[in-house]
Amino acid sequence: MTNYKNPYLFIEAQIVNVTTETSNIKTFTLKPREAIPFRAGQFMDVSVPGAGEAPFTPSSNHNISEKLDFTIMNVGRVTGLLHRMEKSDTVGLRGPYGTAYPIDEWKNKEVFIVGGGVGLAPLRALLYALFNNVGDYKKIILKYGARTSRDIVYIDEIETWKRRAANVDVGITVDVGDESWKGNVGLVTTVLKDSHVDINNAVSIVCGPPIMMKFVTFKLLDMGFKDSHIYLSMEKNMSCGIGKCGHCRVGPYYACKDGPVFTYDKLKSLPNIWD
């Protein structure tokens, strides 16, 4: 009889809060049995015990490892089950996996963040990580696009981000306007140039649906960003989280261990990265 550490097991976590963000997006605050240290950008597998698991990036501040937020859109089987769960229900957590945003390398730089839809979830964790040492960064700019005003996540929190510090600049746009929306209307790609960014001293971080990431990346390249300064979140079918099950391969990489965030220089020569 030999004992080995089993990487496929989850830690039980209790749902301590559920916030409804939009008609199909909720933020779950989970309190795991033991604290789970993670860094912004890493992901975890959230399970509905006995039913299945799916990968999500925590959306909360990585300085807090006792309680983690996960912002989840109801789009499939596991997320559908999660959306039916309530406060005090138990889920499972496995991870963290993958690489973190290299925020220490970005000190004294301008951090230009572009998010789309529920893609703001990992970027929220990134923003809080940057806010922990907000003075270390020359500028922190967020450009966020949602389909309509009703699809904006963290709507109240975003107001507090705008006031966080003088070097923080937040802009929101919606694809389709309506009477209640007084802000900007248009795809997020149309507002990128509004900001004064010192391209030579900036990095850009993008997370959103594949089609949005594709056109934002092209726009950023147009603006003069270097390939190696564009950080993209690759959504792949990450199952085991430890580079063994084979599902999330992207060229010579596994998204679960070499990503899920990649700089564009690593991806650009690979075929079909936006599919």
Contact positions toward another protein, by CB under 8 A? 1-9, 47-54, 73, 75-76, 79, 210, 235-237, 239-240, 242-249, 251-252, 257, 271-272, 275
CB of 7 to another protein, least distance (A): 5
Nearer to another protein, 86 or 275 (CB): 275
Based on CB atoms, which residue is closest to another protein, 107 or 247?
247
Distance CA 128, CA 111 (A): 13
Q: How far apart are CA 149 and CA 183, in angstroms?
A: 9
Shortest distance, position 94 Cβ to another protein, whole Å: 9
Q: Which residue's CB is nearer to another protein, number 76 or number 224?
A: 76
- Smallest distance from the beta carbon of 250 to another protein, in angstroms? 9
Closest by CA position to 92, among listed 68, 123, 60: 68
Smallest distance from another protein to CB 265, Å: 17
Nearest to 153 by CA among 190, 123, 183: 123
User: What order do you get walking across the sheet with 68-73 strand by strand?
Assistant: 52-56, 43-48, 90-97, 11-20, 25-32, 68-73
Tokens for 202, please give them. Answer: 């900036």
Q: Which is nearer to another protein, 8 or 218 (CB)?
A: 8
> How buried is residue 50: exposed, middle or buried, by Cβ count under 10 Å (0-12/13-18/19+)?
exposed
Q: 111 or 115: whose CB is closer to another protein?
A: 115
At closest approach, how far in Å is the CB of 195 from another protein? 29
Yes or no: say if 126 and 42 are a contact pair by the CB < 8 Å rule.
Answer: no
Q: What is the phi/psi pair of residue 162, to 5°?
A: -60, -30
